[in-house]
Amino acid sequence: MKQESRWIKQVKLKFSKLFRRKNKEEDGLGRSPFAEPDGDYGKAEDLAHVWSLNKSDSSVAEENKSRWPRLVLAGGIFLGLMLFVFLVLPRVLPGFFKNTDIALFVENTPVLIYDDTYRVVKVSACSVMSEDDITSERITQLLMNEPVRLLGEDCKNGYVMIRTMDNIVGYVKGDELNSDMSSCEPDLHLFKIVIADISKRVMSHASNGTLICEVAMNTVLFADVKRDGVYQVQLPNGENGWISSSGVIELGVDENTEEVGVRYFVSSALTMVNSTYLDGGLTKRGISIQGLVYVAAGVNGIPIPRELKDQIKIGTEVELEYDAVTDDLLIESIKPGDLVFLSDPYKPGSKEPYEMAICTETGVLLMRAQTGTSIRLCKYDADSDVVERIITVRRLFK
């Protein structure tokens, strides 16, 4: 019994130790470094599950999907830049650089207004004749750089048939015209220059150059370069020349001369006093009164026809005043700047305009001299023969 009880005690002692060790392990005390870990760590991998091709394909597809927003954003930025460079900048930059040399590089594509049916006058003045014959009547003249439309080249004596921009049809010498219209295309240039002096010299260089040509009052040229006191103009013969800035009017290429007062018109007309008279002429080398009215009005902002038969219709008619007692004309009713239309002195009572005169001051007319060779200032009063020849008086300026 004693042995059995001793054995029982030993068994109980062993179980009590095992029980205490188990409790310590549950409390985390005395844990073995080789204790089996919790979870799936250490377990064999399921390769078919982890490295499935279906999962790889899904990852690539998700990556491709994430690239689309970035590509769309990049494409939108690129498209925006292209629109800015090719649409916005060409419209904005010309305003910043207008009237500078840089404008030549940023202007829009020029719009040309003359096609191959047009020609340009390349001489200082070109006579327009009624027939293709030098002995025919001179209708008018054209000034350098004036465009005309070519109507026919199969004419005699070197003439071609043309129509002016104000619809006068006539004949001019073919060798006085040029087919290159670049000198009068407004969109190819920066400035329009209108000659206001009786004439201007065009030189080969800005200083100490040689004379290329001389241009008359109311000639329109186009310039590309502006420096102190000079412009570089393009001539219709293909050359470039330099002209001083005095006695010219600078305009934008699409602008017209601003209308000024009657005093300036009269001053322009008086520059031609004692000039040689030439039927239909427009320059100091030979000019008619209707030609003088045309160029003097043009440089002072009033475009008018070139021919006498059309000029009698312009402006407003002046109501002439007469003395109540003597019935004589009150010459004060004809004011400076008025155009006086006269009948033929050898056809009394005729209402057909034969010539015209310009009133420069009260009682003074600028008209053709009696000899018919020059333009002179003539005084008149109520008893003068010229009064009896007056058909009508037209006023251009208010």
- Going along the chain from its start, the domains and CATH numbers come out as 76-109 (no CATH), 118-251 (2.30.30.40), 257-398 (3.90.1720.10)
**pLDDT at position 119 over 50:** yes
The pLDDT score that the predictor gives to residue 397 is 87
Q: What whole-number distance in Å separates Cα of residue 196 and Cα of residue 135?
A: 32
Give which of 148, 307, 287, 120 is closest to 216, Cα–Cα. Answer: 287
Cβ 215 vs Cβ 248: under 8 Å: no
Q: What whole-number distance in Å separates Cα of residue 26 and Cα of residue 24?
A: 5
pTM of structure: 0.73
User: What values do phi and psi take at 294, rounded to 5?
Assistant: -60, -50
Strand blocks (E) in 309-389: 316-317, 339-342, 355-361, 364-368, 375-379
Q: How confident is residue 29, by pLDDT bands cut at 50, 70 and 90?
A: very low
User: What values do phi and psi take at 372, rounded to 5?
Assistant: 75, 15
- Partnered with residue 118 across adjacent β-strands are 149
163-180 burial, b at 16+ Cβ within 10 Å, e below that, comes to ebeeebebbbbbebbbee
**pLDDT at position 110 over 90:** no
Q: In what order do the strands lie in the sheet with 316-317?
A: 316-317, 390-395, 339-342, 355-361, 364-368, 375-379
Q: How confident is residue 30, by pLDDT bands cut at 50, 70 and 90?
A: very low
Cβ 119 vs Cβ 162: under 8 Å: yes
**pLDDT at position 268 over 90:** yes
**pLDDT at position 278 over 60:** yes
Q: How many C-alpha atoms does 285 have within 13 Å on its Cβ side?
A: 10
The pLDDT score that the predictor gives to residue 36 is 53
Q: How confident is residue 315, by pLDDT bands cut at 50, 70 and 90?
A: very high
Q: What is the mean pLDDT of residues 165-170?
A: 96
Q: What whole-number distance in Å separates Cα of residue 30 and Cα of residue 274?
A: 136
**pLDDT at position 52 over 70:** no
pLDDT tens column, 361-391:
999 999 999 999 999 999 999 999 999 999 9
Q: What whole-number distance in Å separates Cα of residue 79 and Cα of residue 36?
A: 63
Average of per-residue pLDDT values in the chain: 85
Q: What whole-number distance in Å separates Cα of residue 360 and Cα of residue 277?
A: 18
Paired tokens of 18: 């095992």
Q: What whole-number distance in Å separates Cα of residue 131 and Cα of residue 368?
A: 25
**pLDDT at position 334 over 50:** yes
Paired tokens of 342: 């006269």
Cβ 243 vs Cβ 200: under 8 Å: yes
Q: What percentage of the chain reaches a pLDDT higher than 90?
A: 68
pLDDT tens column, 126-139:
999 999 999 999 99
Paired tokens of 131: 């027939």
Q: How confident is residue 93, by pLDDT bands cut at 50, 70 and 90?
A: low
Q: What whole-number distance in Å separates Cα of residue 381 and Cα of residue 116?
A: 55
User: What values do phi and psi take at 3, rounded to 5?
Assistant: -65, -40
Q: What whole-number distance in Å separates Cα of residue 146 and Cα of residue 184?
A: 7
**pLDDT at position 7 over 80:** no
Least confident span in 24-28, 135-139, 299-303: 24-28
DSSP 23: H
Least confident span in 17-21, 109-113, 215-219, 383-387: 17-21
Q: How many C-alpha atoms does 9 have within 13 Å on its Cβ side?
A: 6
The pLDDT score that the predictor gives to residue 81 is 82
**pLDDT at position 103 over 70:** no
The pLDDT score that the predictor gives to residue 100 is 60
The Cα-based distances of 120 to 68, 182, 363 in angstroms read 61, 9, 42
Q: What whole-number distance in Å separates Cα of residue 10 and Cα of residue 16?
A: 10
Q: What is the mean pLDDT of residues 94-104?
A: 58
Least confident span in 58-62, 63-67, 181-185, 238-242: 58-62
List Cβ neighbours of 4 (8 Å cut-off, separation of 6 or more): none
More confident residue, 105 or 268: 268
Paired tokens of 83: 């629109």
Cβ 192 vs Cβ 255: under 8 Å: yes
DSSP 181: -
DSSP 110: P
Paired tokens of 114: 């003359």
Least confident span in 1-5, 163-167, 224-228, 296-300: 1-5
| Bridging pattern class, strands 282-283 and 286-287 | antiparallel
